Amino acid sequence: MRELELYFGPQHLGMVGNFSITLKVEGDRILEATANPGYLHRGFEKLMELRNWIQNFPMVCRINVVEPDSMEMVYSMAVEKLAGIEVPERAHYIRSVCLELARVGSHLFGLWAYANMLGFDTVAQWAMYHRDLILDLFEELTGGRVYHIYIWPGGVRRDFPEGFKEKIVKTLHSIGSCVPDYDATFFNNRIFYERAKDIGKITREEAKEMGATGQVLRATGMKYDIRRVEPYAAYNQVPWDVPTRKDGDAFSRIWVIRDEMIESVYMIFKLIDKMPDGEVYNKVPNPFKWNIPKGEAYVRCESSRGELGLYLVSNGEDKPYRAHFRTPSYPHGLTVLEKALKNASIADVGNIMISLYVVAPEIDR
Amino acid sequence: MKLLKEKLESIFSGVQVNILEQDRLIMSAQKDAVLSILSFLKGKGYTHLALISCVDWLEEKEFELVYVLSAYMQKDNGYTDKEKTNIILKTRISRGNPEFLTVISIFKNAEPYEREIYEFYGIDFKGHPRLTPLFLEREYKIPPFRKDFDTREYVKEVFDKIPFVENKDGKK
């Protein structure tokens, strides 16, 4: 049969985000796939070198559009480490609650994309609606719906408003009460099983070899989670579990996402119960005259997609000398995707890509 | 960690190892030793290459390549100190002759990182199977992430030449 070259994306219904894949196909089989990022390259890491430490906050959150809070968190952690700033106890709890809310929101967005791609429009609408409820919470807390710029070096920007805890609990209860509906229409649906089982299979050895983290690795049964391995914020203060699956295919990855959402909601309840009173912010020097001592740091946290790292170098000046983000989608969208697409069928490209949970702005930066 | 430090210092000459707080081990090595140190560390269980980065030290006329390694879990349940450790391996290469060897033979996922550094810093990785552009679409005289690349000047040079929409038909 004749070999053809197909361009999948960036203008394609099965493609989420500004990303494209060049496929070499024979009939319906993919012989070779080449990931083709760069549509969203904005050079943030270069621009960060030209702005001072505080000015970079509105920039880092735009690296991952879907879940900006973990970006702020990792940058704050690096700055705190270099400058030696302590964070109050209550701020740690607020940060954790904020990050877990963002994780649930991001997973619901991922569920929207996945369900939409499979043709489950009803489930997609539910997920989008429920994500909106979480964005409403963020709007009340921070003033922004998508980009929050809430986590700062030294703590968080402001305390919870009055009655906010109860509001979180109420919203999460109303989302949680829909889990049986989600299960009946989507997760236990035969169509989802048939479409996702054994698709885009990645064994644990392959995943380790290709530098995978997050759901891609947890779907192969390894309980690797930075929140556990190297606890930050308040993650070592409450008990919680790392959900895993065994098979390493698209079906397992989506189920891991579902279980993680539920685990996050329980974690938020526990964190809110245990949250101490006190300050939420330790004062930092005047940001316009703030020189951070010479040094370098590699910090990492668990974003909703896997290990998020930041290598930050300071030259003793008021600007970073070099910042390099290790984003989880980078290995997933380039190395793992190219491997997983080999010998798949054209109809499964979107399925594999969204189940790998690739978000394009994170790759391009 | 201290054991690892002693072992590294005894096996490889010219290696400086520092242990920072929070399980970070920073070491700098000569460029000839990097590949053997990486395969030694991989044999020790540090199989996760998290990041390859590059820093341009303009004043010292050197590029610094940074390899960040950590370990995946050894057992299915329970964590050891090993997984908490991050090893940061640094090496310097001259700015005048920017080339280095690829580490794909040791870590398969080094491929896109090296492509990115090739594109942004112009460092040629010998033995890399596809050093093609990854993100950028235009040609650059100076690779854009180098410190002597002036973003403002570049914008003026490239985008000021594009005529305004009103001027295209001769009208103002």
Q: Do the domain assignments include residue A25?
A: no
- Residue B62 at interface with chain A, using a CB cutoff of 8 Å: no
Query: What does residue B120 show for φ and ψ, rounded to 5 degrees?
Result: -85, -30
Within-domain flag for A14: no
Residues from chain A contacting residue B112 (CB–CB below 8 Å): 330-331, 334-335
pLDDT in tens, B126-154: 888 888 888 887 778 888 888 888 888 88
Q: What is the mean pLDDT of residues B10-27?
A: 75
Residue A275 has what pLDDT? Answer: 87
pLDDT of residue A14: 65
Q: Which residues of A touch B137 (CB under 8 A)?
A: 38
Q: Which of A82-86, A132-136, A234-238, B137-141 has the lowest mean pLDDT?
A: B137-141
Tally of structural domains, chain A: 1
pLDDT at B165 over 80: no
Strand partners, A299: A310
Q: Identify the CA nearest to B98 among candidates B138, B136, B137, B145.
A: B145
Task: Report pLDDT for B170.
Answer: 56
Residues A203-233: tens digit of each pLDDT: 888 888 888 888 888 888 888 888 888 888 8
Q: For residues B111, B116, B119 and B125, what is the CA-based torsion angle, rounded to 10 degrees?
A: -40
Mean per-residue pLDDT, B35-51: 85
Q: Hey, what are B160's tokens?
A: 């000021």
Instruction: Tell me the C-alpha distance between B74 and B84, whole Å.
Output: 12
Q: Which residue has the tokens 């009208």?
A: B171
The residues facing B125 across adjacent strands are B100
Q: Does B151 touch chain A (CB under 8 A)?
A: yes
Domain that holds residue A144: 53-321+345-356
- pLDDT digits 0-9 by tens, A303-315: 888 889 899 888 8
- Is A338 contained in some domain? no
Distance of residue B32 Cα from the nearest chain A Cα, in angstroms: 23
Listed by number, the residues of chain A in 272-311 with a beta carbon closer than 8 Å to a beta carbon of chain B are 296-298, 300, 307, 309, 311
Sheet containing strand A20-26, edge to edge, reads A3-8, A20-26, A29-36
* B94 — pLDDT class (breaks 50, 70, 90): confident
The residue-averaged pLDDT of A199-204 equals: 85
For chain B, give the mean pLDDT.
81
**B158 in A contact zone (CB under 8 Å):** no
B11 in contact with A, Cβ within 8 Å: no
Residue type (1 letter), B97: N
d(CA B17, CA B20): 10
Q: Do B135 and A210 touch (CB under 8 A)?
A: no
pLDDT cut 90: percent of chain A above it: 11
Is the per-residue pLDDT at A296 higher than 80? yes
Contact A69, A57 (CB under 8 A): no
Cis omega (within 30 of 0) for bond into A10: yes
A 10 A CB-CB count for B133 gives: 13
A308 to chain B, minimum CA–CA distance in Å? 9
Positive or negative: CA dihedral A298, A91, A142, A282: negative
* CB contacts < 8 A (A, B): 93
Q: Are strands A29-36 and A20-26 parallel, antiparallel or unpaired?
A: antiparallel
Which residues neighbour B18 within 8 Å (Cβ) at sequence distance 6 or greater?
A: B25, B26, B27
| pTM of the predicted model as reported, rounded to 2 decimal places | 0.88
* Tokens coding B114: 């090296």
Query: In chain A, what is the greatest distance between 2 CA atoms, to the nearest angstrom?
Result: 70
Q: What residues of B are in contact with residue A321 (Cβ under 8 Å)?
A: 55
Strands (E), A27-120: 29-36
- Please, what are the domains in chain B? 2-165 (3.30.460.80)
Count CB-CB contacts under 10 A for residue A145. Answer: 13
Which candidate, B129, B25, B31, places its Cα nearest to that of A34? Answer: B129
| Binary contact (A311, B72; C-beta < 8 A) | no
Among A358, A120, A155, A357, smallest CA distance to A261 is for: A357
> Mind listing the pLDDT tens digit for each residue in A140-189?
888 888 888 888 888 888 888 888 889 999 999 999 898 999 999 888 98
Above pLDDT 90, what percent of chain B?
A: 0
CATH code of the domain containing A88: 1.10.645.10
Shortest alpha-carbon distance between residue B172 and chain A (Å):
31
**Looking at residue A133, what is its pLDDT?**
92
Residue A37 inside a domain? The answer is no
Instruction: Determine the average pLDDT of the residues in A289-301.
Output: 86
A221–B145 C-beta distance less than 8 A: no
Beta carbons within 8 Å of A45's beta carbon, 6+ residues apart: A322, A323, A324, A325, A365, B145
Does A365 map to a domain?
no
Are residues B56 and A45, on separate chains, in Cβ contact within 8 Å? no
Q: What percent of chain A has pLDDT over 70?
A: 99
Nearest to A213 by CA among A342, A357, A362: A357
Residue A89 included in any domain: yes
B83 touches chain A (CB under 8 A): yes
Ranking A49-58, A327-336, B161-170 by mean pLDDT, the lowest is B161-170
**pLDDT of residue B172 exceeding 60:** no
Please report, as a single letter, which amino acid is at residue A288.
Answer: F
Sorted by sequence, the CB contacts under 8 Å of residue A361 that are 6+ apart come out as A17, A18, A40, A62, A63, A64, A65
* Residue B163: pLDDT over 80: no
B135/A41 touch (CB, cutoff 8 Å), yes or no: yes
Instruction: Tell me the mean pLDDT in the region A88-117.
Output: 89
Residue B22: the pLDDT is 65
pLDDT at A129: 92
Residue B112 to residue A334, Cβ atoms within 8 A: yes
CB contact under 8 A, B109 and A50: no
Q: In angstroms, how far apart are the furthest CA atoms of chain B? A: 75
